[in-house]
Amino acid sequence: MTLNVVLPQSSTKVRATALDVHYGDKQALFGVDLDIRAGEVTALIGPSGCGKSTFLRCINRMNDLVEGARVSGSLTIDGSDIYDRTIDVVQLRARVGMVFQKPNPFPKSIYDNVAYGPRIHGLAQDQAELDDIVMTSLEKAGLLNEVKDRLLETGTSLSGGQQQRLCIARAIAVEPEVILMDEPCSALDPIATAKVEELIDELRENFTIVIVTHSMQQAARVSQRTAFFHLGKVIEIGDTEQIFTNPQQPLTQGYITGRFG
């Protein structure tokens, strides 16, 4: 739906330069150079094990949690290196939210799920403000109408698609600048997927979004720019329309036409 819109030139939000990632002895990313622009949806596509999720998890340093993971090269957000020793990973993750492959609401009420981030970061001065943040986030995630009468029920009682939108509401409640999505629709049925995709398109106004997806149709539907990963390297990056209609690299063409992957 967005393919024919002429994109405004926007500024770079996240910039990776010569980024290498090792898991123990295994190298997962080889010298990745990638710019992600503010206010756009960037899709990362490629066959399984190509390093797209690894790259995504570098942006909020979730790889720190993996034993034996080493990151070298530089990765900047708004020009400042997030692997610098002065950067506090807790503050970084408040700026870079994440939505996971499988919906993972906490075993708490719907309200507490959304209020969790604002609470740990002290974003609300009082209860009224917190209520306001929760309601706005649920509203933005398109979930408010479905759950407004059952805010105190547990988040796990929702359907899969609702749970995933709850997780998105939970992420945007912290008002991050960047939202990372790791195959957010792979556990959802087509109707729930359509709702989440619609939501991603709306969120683009306020957030920079990076989405990993296995579905090329999804990449084409929701993203403005697409990067193709293969064996730990970025093969090609460009406007989504160009990647899907006129790929420059034979590997990219092979993948999007379904010859491998």
Partner 1 sequence: MQTLTLAAILLLLSSFAFRLGRKRAFAVSAHEPRSLHSLPGYYGSWVALWCGLPAFAVLIAWLALEPTLVRELVITDLPAAMQTLPAERIDILINEVRNAAQGHATANPDLAAAAEHYNRLRQVSFAAVTAISVAIALAGAAFAYRRVQPALRARPRVESSITVFLVASSTVAIFTTIGIVLSLLFEALRFFQMVGFTDFLFGLNWSPQMSTRSDQVGSSGAFGMIPLFTGTMLISLISMVVALPLGLFSAIYMSEYAQPRVRAVAKPALEILAGIPTVVFGFFAVITVAPLIHSAGEMIGLSVASESALAAGFVMGITLIPLISSLSDDVITAVPHSLREGAFGLGATRSECIRQVVLPAALPGIVGGVLLAVSRAIGETMIVVMAAGLSAKLTFNPLEAVTTVTVQIVTLLVGDTEFDSPKTLAAFALGLMLFAITLALNVVALHIVQKYREKYD
Name the residues that contact partner 1, by CB under 8 A: 60, 62, 65, 89-94, 97-98, 100, 102, 104-108, 116-117, 120-121, 154, 156, 167, 170-171, 174
The CA dihedral of 190, 105, 36, 198, to the nearest 10 degrees, is 30
If the CB atoms of residues 30 and 106 are measured against partner 1, the closer one turns out to be: 106
22 contacts: CB under 8 Å, gap ≥ 6: 28, 68, 69, 70
Least separation in angstroms between residue 161's CB and partner 1 is: 16
φ/ψ of 226, rounded to 5, equals -135, 135
In angstroms, give the least distance from the CB of 193 to partner 1. Answer: 19
Torsion over CA: 191, 193, 197, 203 (sign) = positive
Nearer to partner 1, 181 or 243 (CB): 181
Using the minimum distance from each CB to partner 1, give the nearer residue, 28 or 243: 28
Using alpha carbons, list the distances in angstroms from residue 47 to 27, 93, 185, 232. 17, 27, 17, 10
State the Cα–Cα distance between residues 244 and 108, nearest whole angstrom.
42
Q: Minimal distance in Å, beta carbon 106 to partner 1?
A: 5
Please say whether the beta carbons of 92 and 155 come within 8 A: no
Q: Give 52 or 230: the residue with its C-beta nearer to partner 1.
A: 52
If the CB atoms of residues 15 and 170 are measured against partner 1, the closer one turns out to be 170
Q: φ and ψ at 199, to 5 degrees?
A: -60, -45
Give the nearer residue to partner 1 in terms of CB position, either 5 or 65.
65
Name the minimum Å distance from CB 108 to partner 1. 7
CB of 70 to partner 1, least distance (A): 17
CA 107 to chain centre: 23
Task: Tell me the backbone φ, ψ of residue 30, rounded to 5 degrees.
Answer: -120, 105
CB of 53 to partner 1, least distance (A): 12
